[in-house]
């Protein structure tokens, strides 16, 4: 099979996308496929003739353009098959405000939040708060605000990445993440990071985080979280694979944060860690994604 791997892109997560793309390319070659590694910064349209010659496009992009439905809609218009969720689900999940509303409509807990567009907007939520772009991943542009005096600096930081900012009630707790692969929910991963939140540095710096999989949760709680994640995945109209992030407070209340439709796929990323705990090697995981996408 001939596979085109789209990677890079213009987002703040470009470097992670390149690592994902390279890891996926290695796995696809080991599976015996013919590979086109297609790295771009802004002009993905130039690859149209090459993409039309492929059997499938593996979308290894993260963040804006690649993960927010823009690439997916363009591929749909050109009748090109690709991995992962479609344009609607991608756009919906990239918008934290909208996806949190879907979660709340299903009865799931999610931290209280408000959307702001200006440094002058009034935030009615009490501190501590998390302030971050509404449409970015990898905790890009995120700050914790402990008193209202720090609001302006945090909003300015977030607005470097987006005009839509989400102010979210800070929940102190254990960070867990849940992977869906097809119809199956994989073992839950608990993240123990050196910082108070699992931020960009902790995600991508070796030794800054420890991963426990399966997470040390009771059987009933594990089943409930997995069941809720599956419901949410379907309600958001996601396909093939994805990863939901949560915070678990000291009373074991689970708060939904976001659904990632194109999570990192290097051999040390969270989805492969979860897959490995379920007996799936990285190569087998990539093979499953390819088969389900076709």
Residue 190 bears catalytic tag:
no
Of the residues 13, 67, 175, 199, only one is catalytic, namely: 13
Of the residues 59, 200, 245, 246, only one is catalytic, namely: 245
Residue 138 bears catalytic tag:
yes
Residue 192 bears catalytic tag:
no
DSSP state of 123: P
Do residues 286 and 205 share a domain? yes
Of the residues 69, 258, 269, 274, only one is catalytic, namely: 258
The CA radius of gyration of the chain, in Å to the nearest whole number, is 19
Whether 88 is covered by a domain: the verdict is no
Do residues 103 and 249 share a domain? yes
The CATH number of the domain holding residue 129 is 3.30.1490.20
| Distance from C-alpha of 116 to C-alpha of 125, rounded to nearest angstrom | 12
pLDDT in tens, the chain (294 residues): 999 999 999 998 899 999 999 999 999 999 999 999 999 999 999 999 999 999 999 999 999 899 999 999 999 999 999 999 999 999 999 999 999 999 999 999 999 999 999 888 889 999 999 999 998 876 788 999 998 888 889 999 999 988 899 999 999 999 999 999 999 999 999 998 776 666 666 666 677 779 999 999 999 999 999 999 999 999 999 999 999 999 999 999 999 999 999 999 986 799 999 999 999 999 999 999 999 999
Residue among 25, 28, 134, 18 nearest 66 (CA): 18
pLDDT of residue 267: 66
Residue 245 bears catalytic tag:
yes
Domain that includes residue 122, residue range? 113-169
Do residues 65 and 98 share a domain? no
The CATH number of the domain holding residue 246 is 3.30.470.20
C-alpha pair distances (Å), 200 with each of 102, 206, 240, 246: 26, 12, 26, 16
Residue 135 bears catalytic tag:
no
């Amino acid at each position: 099979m001939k596979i085109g791997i789209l990677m890079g892109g213009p987002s703040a997560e470009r470097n992670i996308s390149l690592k994902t793309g390279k890891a996926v390319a290695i796995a696809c070659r080991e599976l015996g496929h013919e590979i086109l590694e297609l790295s771009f910064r802004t002009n993905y349209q130039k690859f149209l003739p090459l993409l039309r010659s492929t059997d499938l496009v593996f979308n290894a992009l993260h963040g804006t353009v690649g993960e927010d439905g823009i690439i997916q809609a363009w591929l749909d218009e050109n009748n090109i098959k690709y991995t992962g969720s479609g344009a609607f689900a991608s756009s919906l999940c990239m918008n934290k405000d909208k996806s949190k509303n879907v979660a709340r409509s299903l009865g799931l807990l999610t931290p209280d939040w408000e959307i702001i567009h200006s440094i002058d907007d009034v935030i009615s939520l009490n501190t501590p708060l998390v302030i971050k772009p509404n449409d970015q991943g990898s905790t890009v542009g995120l700050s914790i605000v402990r008193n209202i005096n720090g609001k302006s600096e945090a909003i300015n930081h977030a607005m470097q990445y987006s005009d839509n900012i989400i102010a979210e009630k800070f929940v102190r707790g254990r960070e867990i993440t849940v992977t869906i692969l097809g119809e199956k929910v994989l073992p839950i991963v608990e993240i123990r990071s050196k910082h108070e939140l699992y931020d960009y540095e902790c995600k991508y710096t070796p030794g800054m985080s420890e991963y426990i999989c399966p997470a040390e949760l009771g059987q009933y709680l594990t089943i409930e979280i997995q069941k809720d994640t599956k419901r949410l995945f379907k309600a958001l109209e996601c396909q093939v694979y994805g990863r939901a992030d949560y915070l678990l407070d000291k009373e074991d209340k689970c708060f939904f944060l976001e659904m990632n439709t194109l999570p990192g796929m290097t051999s040390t990323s969270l989805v492969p860690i979860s897959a490995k705990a379920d007996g799936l090697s990285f190569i087998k995981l990539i093979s499953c994604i390819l088969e389900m996408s076709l």
